[in-house]
A and B are shown apart, each in its own frame.
Chain A
């Protein structure tokens, strides 16, 4: 069978792998094609969504409270430094060796990867709210809870979303190596070359790259939409932060 993409070499084969079933390298089974990859994609997506959701539930409240009280700066900032230093492959292997394989453990690993950027960004976002704004809110008779929920949280939202964006990109990227723990995500062809071959690996890599970039751009758009109108007007002044070190996306690059 001659391929329309033959002139592209292995890239062409990879594109064909995405759209058309073929026999596996070791023979016997049919692999590739959209139906199989869609199955991997669904698994990939649900473990990623579950992990980011769990990380949000844990990291945002902690970040809000620490940031509001102005306590625990060291913890809030150093979690993301530590998070960066622990390789995702090492963390996953540690869980596989000590706890076992399966979706539950993979999600746990992904949650641990997602917490640091969300926690740090929430903390920084809440801290950087203008002192005068808080004083004004307190002067109007707001309780601590109201100050957090009605003033600090909305004003910190763009930065919090920056953290969610970094976390999501990391999680979606790291879910690629989940097949090492027997969870069949889009990385399945990548970690089982004996079945899928180089073209299958490249095909899966193309899909993973596209999905990750879409997640990144999607969150960038969402971040823009969620920025309160008042902040957008003040952007030029706010953009030149004194610290310069903590900008909107400062996490680890995708795995």
Chain B
């Protein structure tokens, strides 16, 4: 173990930036300015991992939620099933999947998708269930079919809760995607892990992950406001 610690201390590329700071594994603004480029690739991978995983997770959770909306008894088993997936630590999941899906981004995405299911499913079902019964009755009285009621009344009214679920799913997935390095996937986690004793590296890679989570949150909040104009009319 000690040997690996000393191996880590020999920093690559001492020529760039203020080399004594870098040699001491310090926090070196000069080094960060010179080497910021090398974080852009991992950042892009991180964005891709997150967006792909949440998108697939949303698709699956939406189908499950619509099934549970028609047949209420399915809700319990789906929550139990996705709950078990949710309880398995992602680091463990990345290795448990490897004999099946191999080393790489596929394994990372499969594990990350499995964590979004419970969050998104529960928020969609909560949202649909909280639609006032009078509204559904009124729509039915106007002659809307069940499909029309779902698309034109229930889903739009559930948007705030669905978006709340998506926001949780995005910030969670950004965090878990840093561990995708254990599945052989890319992303900011591999940068953190390769040089975890170097302060500059840890601050930049970790900071980018936090900023990414915040950015996703702001974007989703913007989308939510744009697609639910009636919410703004409500007195808070």
Contact (A94, B171) CB under 8 Å given A182-B1, A202-B95: no
Closest 7 CB pairs of A and B: A90-B206, A173-B89, A205-B95, A85-B213, A205-B92, A87-B175, A244-B126
Least CB distance, B132 to chain A, in whole angstroms: 12
Are B192 and A89 touching (Cβ within 8 A)? yes
B99 contacts partner chain A, Cβ-Cβ < 8 Å: yes
- Nearest residue (CB) in A for B158 is A244
Are A245 and B164 touching (Cβ within 8 A)? yes
Please classify how large the interface on chain B is, using the bins under 10, 10 to 19, 20 to 34, 35 or more.
Answer: 35 or more
Which of chain B's residues 184-220 have a Cβ closer than 8 Å to chain A? 188-189, 192-193, 196-199, 201-203, 205-206, 209-210, 213-214, 217
Contact (A255, B91) CB under 8 Å given A94-B202, A97-B198, A98-B199: yes
Between A and B, 12 residue pairs with Cβ closer than 8 Å are A85-B174, A85-B213, A86-B206, A88-B178, A89-B193, A90-B205, A93-B192, A190-B95, A190-B182, A205-B93, A213-B84, A255-B91
What is the CA–CA distance of A226 and B92 in the complex, to the nearest angstrom? 30
A43 contacts partner chain B, Cβ-Cβ < 8 Å: no
- Nearest residue (CB) in B for A101 is B5
Contact (A212, B89) CB under 8 Å given A94-B202, A97-B197: yes
Are B202 and A97 touching (Cβ within 8 A)? yes
Question: Hey, which chain B residues are within 8 Å of A213, CB to CB?
Answer: 84, 87-88
A9 contacts partner chain B, Cβ-Cβ < 8 Å: yes
Report which of A173, A182, A245 forms a contact with B91, defined as CB distance below 8 A. A173
**Which residues of B does A touch, CB under 8 Å?**
1, 5, 25, 84, 86-96, 98-99, 115, 118-119, 122-123, 126-127, 129-130, 161, 164, 168, 171-172, 174-176, 178-179, 182, 188-189, 192-193, 196-199, 201-203, 205-206, 209-210, 213-214, 217
Least CB distance, A179 to chain B, in whole angstroms: 8
A120 contacts partner chain B, Cβ-Cβ < 8 Å: no
Least CB distance, A190 to chain B, in whole angstroms: 6
A10 contacts partner chain B, Cβ-Cβ < 8 Å: yes
Question: Hey, which chain A residues are within 8 Å of B119, CB to CB?
Answer: 253
Interface of A is mostly: helix
Report which of A88, A90, A93 forms a contact with B210, defined as CB distance below 8 A. A90
Contact (A254, B86) CB under 8 Å given A89-B179, A206-B92: yes
Are B126 and A81 touching (Cβ within 8 A)? no
Are A201 and B205 touching (Cβ within 8 A)? no
- Count chain A residues whose beta carbon lies closer than 8 angstroms to a beta carbon of B: 50
What is the CA–CA distance of A42 and B193 in the complex, to the nearest angstrom? 25
- Nearest residue (CB) in A for B165 is A245
What is the CA–CA distance of A90 and B172 in the complex, to the nearest angstrom? 13
- Nearest residue (CB) in A for B103 is A198
What is the CA–CA distance of A86 and B214 in the complex, to the nearest angstrom? 10
Which of chain A's residues 237-255 have a Cβ closer than 8 Å to chain B? 240, 242, 244-245, 247, 250, 252-255
Question: Hey, which chain B residues are within 8 Å of A93, CB to CB?
Answer: 192-193, 196, 202, 205-206
